[in-house]
């Protein structure tokens, strides 16, 4: 955990939780079990989760988005898998709280950013971007697009989900945005990186937040079909792994007045050690809420 000004959570600080890609039904159920407890213990002002794999591991549909919102997610980001199910076209057209990367062609349905007016008077803008290195090159240059967006707009607190494969592209984006946004996290690899920190000009950064899904999986999928495919080159049907679930997430405190990140930490809670994981989280960031704890 990195803390530049102070620990704790006061009204001039915004606490944002970002949850790594939620993969399939088991992950959605675990999210519903653990997120209310996380919310109760650390009192975030805003919770974002990447939902591009929420429907059977590929795509997002109204039911899976609804379950994520019901679990306590305030805004869903996505990435290259967002269009895997056709229902996403209408879903994103109709729901501004589900983002697709902003650098898709302008004719593509949905929005790439969202601005929330929070109850303490602060405003938080969330931007979803997609990388181009080792990915299908259908999107516009994410560096130029985000640069233009930030020049057009004067929001103080900006959170970026940069959905990208290559570490170098994500690191370069982090330094490019340092001092211009509050936080940039990467998603898409489904593997949590240990490099969460605050860059020198005040931007919270992490190369990849990770995943909500099975630790004993290959990026959320059952292992055998994937190993068999590597052994034989023959296409196998991939299935979501449902056991040994975990939720990877990161917590960022932002000074609402300056837009700078002041505290950044990353977490993993396992389903079978959930209480211990929650205790550890409370010990570092605890702000237990009023009223009865969620069951």
Provide, rounded to whole angstroms, the least separation between the CB of residue 121 and Fe ion: 34
Provide, rounded to whole angstroms, the least separation between the CB of residue 295 and Fe ion: 30
Neighbouring C-alpha atoms within 13 Å toward the C-beta of 25: 5
Binding segment (CB under 5 A) for Fe ion, from list 59-67, 75-83, 97-105, 142-150:
75-83
- By CB atoms closer than 10 A (0-12, 13-18, 19+), residue 231 is exposed
Sign of CA dihedral 22, 28, 34, 37: positive
**By CB under 5 A, is residue 100 in contact with Fe ion?**
no
Spatial neighbors of 144 by CB under 8 A, at least 6 apart, are none
The CA distance from 270 to 212, in Å, is 10
**By CB under 5 A, is residue 214 in contact with Fe ion?**
no
**By CB under 5 A, is residue 79 in contact with Fe ion?**
yes
Cβ proximity to Fe ion, 79 vs 204, nearer residue: 79
Binding segment (CB under 5 A) for Fe ion, from list 76-84, 173-181, 239-247, 263-271:
76-84
Q: At 89, is the secondary structure helix, strand, or coil?
A: helix
The answer to whether the beta carbons of residues 174 and 206 sit under 8 Å apart is no
Binding segment (CB under 5 A) for Fe ion, from list 5-13, 71-79, 223-231, 249-257:
71-79
Q: Of residues 9, 81, 163, 190, which has the active-site annotation?
A: 81
What phi, psi does 185 have (nearest 5°)? -115, 150
Cβ proximity to Fe ion, 21 vs 45, nearer residue: 21
Binding segment (CB under 5 A) for Fe ion, from list 53-61, 169-177, 237-245, 275-283:
53-61
**By CB under 5 A, is residue 53 in contact with Fe ion?**
yes
**By CB under 5 A, is residue 161 in contact with Fe ion?**
no
Neighbouring C-alpha atoms within 13 Å toward the C-beta of 293: 12
Instruction: Reply yes or no on whether 81 is catalytic.
Output: yes
Provide, rounded to whole angstroms, the least separation between the CB of residue 129 and Fe ion: 12
Q: Which residues of 197-218 are buried (b: 16+ CB within 10 A; e: fewer)?
A: bbbeebbbbbbbbbbbbbeebb
Of the candidates 254, 26, 52, the residue with the CA atom closest to the CA atom of residue 161: 52
**By CB under 5 A, is residue 169 in contact with Fe ion?**
no
The answer to whether the beta carbons of residues 40 and 293 sit under 8 Å apart is yes
**Contacting residue, 9, 15, 21, 285, with Fe ion by CB under 5 A:** 21
Site string for Fe ion, 173-202 (x = CB under 5 A): ---------------x--------------
Residues acting as catalytic residues: 81
Q: Which residues bind Fe ion (CB under 5 A)?
A: 21, 52-53, 79-80, 188
């Amino acid at each position: 955990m990195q803390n530049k000004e102070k620990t704790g959570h006061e009204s001039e600080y915004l606490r944002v939780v970002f949850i790594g890609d939620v993969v399939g039904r088991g992950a959605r159920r675990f999210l519903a079990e653990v997120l209310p407890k996380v919310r109760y213990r650390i009192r975030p002002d805003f919770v974002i989760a990447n939902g591009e794999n929420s429907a059977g591991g590929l795509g997002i549909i109204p039911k899976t988005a609804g379950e994520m919102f019901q679990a306590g997610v305030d805004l869903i980001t996505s990435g290259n898998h967002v269009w895997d199910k056709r229902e996403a076209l209408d879903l994103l057209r109709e729901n501004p709280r589900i983002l697709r990367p902003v650098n898709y062609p302008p004719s593509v349905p949905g929005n790439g950013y969202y601005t929330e007016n929070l109850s303490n008077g602060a405003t938080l803008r969330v931007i979803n971007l997609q990388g181009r290195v080792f990915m299908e090159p259908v999107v516009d240059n994410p560096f130029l697009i985000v640069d233009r967006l930030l020049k057009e707009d004067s929001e103080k607190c900006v959170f970026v989900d940069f959905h990208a494969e290559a570490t170098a592209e994500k690191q370069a984006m982090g330094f490019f945005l340092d001092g211009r946004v509050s936080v940039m996290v990467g998603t898409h690899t489904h593997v949590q990186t240990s490099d969460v920190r605050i860059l020198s000009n005040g931007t919270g950064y992490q190369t990849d937040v990770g995943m909500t899904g099975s630790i004993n999986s290959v990026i959320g999928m059952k292992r055998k079909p994937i190993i068999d495919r590597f052994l034989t080159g023959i296409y196998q049907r991939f299935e979501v792994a449902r056991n040994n679930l975990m939720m990877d997430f990161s917590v960022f405190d932002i000074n609402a007045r300056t837009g700078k990140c002041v505290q950044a930490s990353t977490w993993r809670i396992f389903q079978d050690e959930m209480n211990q994981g929650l205790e550890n989280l409370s010990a570092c960031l605890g702000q237990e809420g009023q009223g009865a704890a969620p069951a």
